[in-house]
Amino acid sequence: MTRTELEELIRNGENSGVEFKRDDVPPERLAKEMAALLNLEGGYVLLGVEKDRTVSGLTRAPERAEEWVMECARTHVRPAIIPFWETIDYGDGKIVGIVKLPADAPDKPYKAKRGSAWVTQIRVGSTSRDATDEEEARLYMQSGRLQYDRKPVPGGRFEDLDLRRLTEYFRDVRRQACPGPSDRDGWIRLLVNTELMAEDRGKAMPSAGGLLLFGMQPKRFLPQAGISAVAYPGDAKDYAARARQTLTGPLVSLFGAAPAADAAAYPRLAHTFSDDSGAIEAGVIEQALDFVRRNIGVEAWIDDGGQRRERWDYPLEAVREAIVNAVAHRDYTIGVMDIELSIYSDRLEIISPGRLPNTVTVDKMRAGYRASRNELIKEVLRDYRYIEATGLGVPRKIIEGMRAHNGTEPDLIEEESRFMVRLLKSAAAGPPAGLEGGSA
């Protein structure tokens, strides 16, 4: 860090990534700030800077201050860390110590020692405080150390799962033997072994992922299990929406009595964009796609070869990929809040509650980085061919798909508590160049 950069940090004051401290505070105080910053996006603790932004300088020799910081990070923060340390001569004999905490610390949640206890800390604005149970669980999920979709859902029973969908999944998608419809114990064993149910103190109950994927009424147990879909007449939110619908139910569809030997039918159906997907009961994913199809424009024409062609406002494969990513990777520890699907006159937005999973960045997503917050949900959706094994859905289907469709660049935006995919509507009218023909 340069002197100019340090002056800029001090001038801007404390914030969610910068803390001012004296180097004569108790180790527990420094550990609290380090843990809180690590649990957010990293940042700096500036030692020898007062709360009023005046520089008092280190009270001990720089090498002694460094030893003190490293010992504090080793013995008062769990997991132990090794922060980056440097000093800058601020003039007038004043030395500022800089403790830099990384933005991509992998072992969240970080805890600070308090007496004989270890307490998880979070950063809220310019202050650090104890995390609530929900906030701590969210940090575990961000690090991948706790998979929310594998947790048992209290109060849930085997009967809260849709046996028709489960039978179709195991028999026709996975193509494996499954118990008969009356073999309750056999089904429970199978579902526990595949983590669609989980045991808690000897009692089997659906896991969160099991309910989200195959539940009869997932919202009864998980209020956040759904998509709030709205189509607006203009380019801003409006009470006078053109269409408004809350999409509920299990994520996957029920396709009906296709023969068990025709397993290829199910992967193919996941890629169908016609008005009739083949489902006899649409899941949330298909409901969302149907809502989009009903509320965006489509141009149709006959090409020179006599074939009917269609061009939607947005490439449906890109829309599908964004919807699937939202339901597969959202933060389900954030209760009550649904995924938002909003269609405006000039754009389509899909907003997922929660930040990106730990180590994931927008740049990594654009490059095809593979990571998952809800591994169980992701694997089942992969079985249905909603998700590719390559991890290239975002760069190929969303980014390249939008470029090919109308030359626009999709926006991937991470904010404090949500992630947004924004697709821009094409300004071009008529069929793509080279495909002109008579109107349908």
Question: CATH number, domain at 428?
Answer: 3.30.565.60
Say if residue 287 is in the same domain as residue 377: yes
Say if residue 173 is in the same domain as residue 93: no
- Cβ–Cβ contacts within 10 Å for residue 96, how many? 25
Dist. CA 267–CA 383, nearest whole Å: 8
Residue 271 has pLDDT above 50, yes or no: no
Residue 139 maps to a domain = no
Q: Among residues 188, 217, 246, which one ends one of the domains?
A: 217
Residue 138 maps to a domain = no
- Contacting residues for 289 by C-beta, under 8 A, at least 6 apart: 273, 277, 316, 319, 320, 323
* Mean pLDDT of the region 411-440: 68
pLDDT at 389: 67
Residue 291 maps to a domain = yes
Report strand pairing: 339-343 vs 227-231: parallel
Write the DSSP assignment of 122-138 as a string of letters.
Answer: EEETTEEEEPPHHHHHH
Say if residue 213 is in the same domain as residue 231: no
Does residue 233 have a cis peptide bond before it, meaning omega lies within 30 degrees of 0? no
Residue 393 has pLDDT above 50, yes or no: yes
pLDDT at 304: 79
pLDDT at 358: 65
* Mean pLDDT of the region 101-123: 90
Residue 144 maps to a domain = no
Residue 308 has pLDDT above 50, yes or no: yes
pLDDT at 261: 45
DSSP-derived 3-state class of residue 47: strand
pLDDT band at 427 (very low <50, low <70, confident <90, very high): low
Say if residue 265 is in the same domain as residue 368: yes
- Cβ–Cβ contacts within 10 Å for residue 116, how many? 5
pLDDT at 144: 61
Residue 400 zone, left/alpha/beta (φ > 0; ψ -120 to 50; rest): alpha
Give Cα 58 to chain centroid, integer Å.
Answer: 41
- The 10s digit of each residue's pLDDT in 355-385 is 887 678 888 888 877 777 889 999 999 999 9
Q: Among residues 161, 186, 217, which one ends one of the domains?
A: 217
pLDDT at 89: 94
Dist. CA 223–CA 333, nearest whole Å: 11
Output phi, psi for 138, to 5 deg: -65, -40
* Mean pLDDT of the region 135-160: 83
Q: Among residues 217, 243, 264, which one ends one of the domains?
A: 217
Output phi, psi for 298, to 5 deg: -145, 135
Lowest-pLDDT choice from 180-184, 200-204, 338-342: 200-204
Residue type, 343: I
Say if residue 167 is in the same domain as residue 277: no
User: Where do runs of H (alpha helix) occur along 283-412?
Assistant: 284-295, 316-329, 362-367, 375-383, 401-406
Of all residues in the chain, the percent with pLDDT exceeding 70 is 89
Q: What is the CATH number of the domain that holds 109?
A: 3.30.950.30
pLDDT band at 58 (very low <50, low <70, confident <90, very high): very high
Domain encompassing residue 113: 3-131
Say if residue 353 is in the same domain as residue 401: yes
Say if residue 99 is in the same domain as residue 197: no
Lowest-pLDDT choice from 21-25, 200-204, 301-305: 301-305
Dist. CA 296–CA 243, nearest whole Å: 11
Which element (helix H / strand E) includes 310? strand 308-312
Residue 387 maps to a domain = yes
Say if residue 344 is in the same domain as residue 241: yes
Residue 194 maps to a domain = yes
Torsion of CA 241, 243, 248, 252, to 10 degrees: -130
Indicate the burial class of 421 (C-beta count within 10 angstroms; 0-12, 13-18, 19 or more): buried
Say if residue 309 is in the same domain as residue 388: yes
Dist. CA 197–CA 187, nearest whole Å: 10
- The 10s digit of each residue's pLDDT in 201-245 is 789 999 999 999 999 999 999 999 999 999 999 999 988 899 999
Lowest-pLDDT choice from 161-165, 220-224, 258-262: 258-262
Say if residue 359 is in the same domain as residue 378: yes
pLDDT at 48: 95
> How many domains is the chain partitioned into structurally?
3
pLDDT at 439: 34
Q: In this structure, what token pair is assigned to residue 375?
A: 């591994």
Question: How does DSSP classify residue 10?
Answer: H
pLDDT band at 30 (very low <50, low <70, confident <90, very high): very high
Residue 143 maps to a domain = no
pLDDT at 181: 92
pLDDT at 170: 95
Residue 249 has pLDDT above 80, yes or no: yes
Residue 193 maps to a domain = yes
Q: What is this structure's pTM?
A: 0.68
pLDDT at 353: 92
Of all residues in the chain, the percent with pLDDT exceeding 90 is 67
Tell me which residue has tokens 């969610």.
16
Residue 436 has pLDDT above 50, yes or no: no
Polymer length of the chain: 440
Say if residue 319 is in the same domain as residue 413: yes
Dist. CA 381–CA 387, nearest whole Å: 6
What's the Cα-to-Cα distance from 205 to each of 120, 178, 209, 250, 322, rounded to whole Å?
A: 29, 19, 11, 17, 30
- Contacting residues for 317 by C-beta, under 8 A, at least 6 apart: 273, 397, 401
Say if residue 12 is in the same domain as residue 115: yes
**Rg, Å, the chain Cα set:** 26
